[in-house]
Amino acid sequence: MSETPFIDVAAEVFDPRPCQLGEGPLWHPQRQTLYWVDLLNCRLMAKTQDGVEQAWDLGEMPSAIGWIDTEQLLVACESGLNLFNVESAEKTLLCALEPELPGNRSNDGRADPWGGFWIGTMGKNGEEGVGNLYRWYRGELRKLDSGLTVLNGLCFDRERRLAYYADSAASIVYSVSLDAQTGWPDSSRGVHLDLTADSLIPDGAVTDVAGNMWTSLWDGERTQCYSPEGVELGALKAPVIRTTCPAFGGRDFTDLYVTTAAVGLEDGPEAPIANGVTLVYRNAVKGQPEPAVIL
């Protein structure tokens, strides 16, 4: 494994509630609130800038989140894409997702700059090659790619020219070029990062204002930064093993939040921080707000 220069910003515990599989963090710019999911426990989690905590039992596994307006979120779950009202806790199915494949579930997802929402699927037991990639846009759900195992790392470049996504099982990050007007892919995927030589497992990812990609590494104890050209720039060290997904937030989008996972791990008697907590790196780097999903 190559030597990683660590960035001198320490992780803090943003939320101590442990998640079996924390994923999908989203900073809501209007509510000044971080939302994320505890996927295996079927919970949607939230915590405001001022420290107010909430949690909702969704009755099925959620995996990714977008924001629509002040009250409504788009939450990807096993059943499909759902509208969720954070004031009333009402959940309404917007679009079914692979009802013909009951062995699959949603995984990573993210809103794109055009107001669409990209969502990946995978086998519930991690079966090889059964995952697909979709985009929901203006009422249409269209399959974009297939033959994936654990789709993760959905994010978009600063110039709105590329979408990135990873197959964690293959240790590969792909890129695909996008139509400037509609955001639909206009090419086949190509390899953006090949992490197999270092045995790294890319999980969730996000891009900053400079266009650099920050990807959390499953079992890697860090969130790693790559330039748009794929050059490794550094990493934020985590005090836990399984980092899962980053998101920029805070009033100036200079805080980087990172979800983690406790599944399959036991906290040692002298562990300073429990696995599965949600971390934050204050004033780490300048990010950008997530675009709203347009219905």
Q: How far is CA 278 from the centre of its chain?
A: 13
How distant is the alpha carbon of residue 166 from its chain centre? Answer: 11
Residue carrying the six token digits 């959905």: 154
Give every CB contact of residue 232 below 8 A, 6+ residues apart in sequence: 2, 4, 224, 225, 226
**C-alpha to C-alpha distance for 186 and 162, rounded to whole angstroms:** 10
Catalytic entry in 112, 145, 203, 208? 203
Q: Is 283 a known ligand-binding residue?
A: no
Q: Is 267 a catalytic residue?
A: no
Q: Is 71 annotated as a binding residue?
A: no
Q: Residue 105, annotated ligand binder?
A: yes
Q: Which residues are annotated as a binding site for substrate?
A: 105, 107
Q: Which residues are annotated as a binding site for a divalent metal cation?
A: 23, 152, 203
Active site residues: 203
Q: Which residues are annotated as a binding site?
A: 23, 105, 107, 152, 203
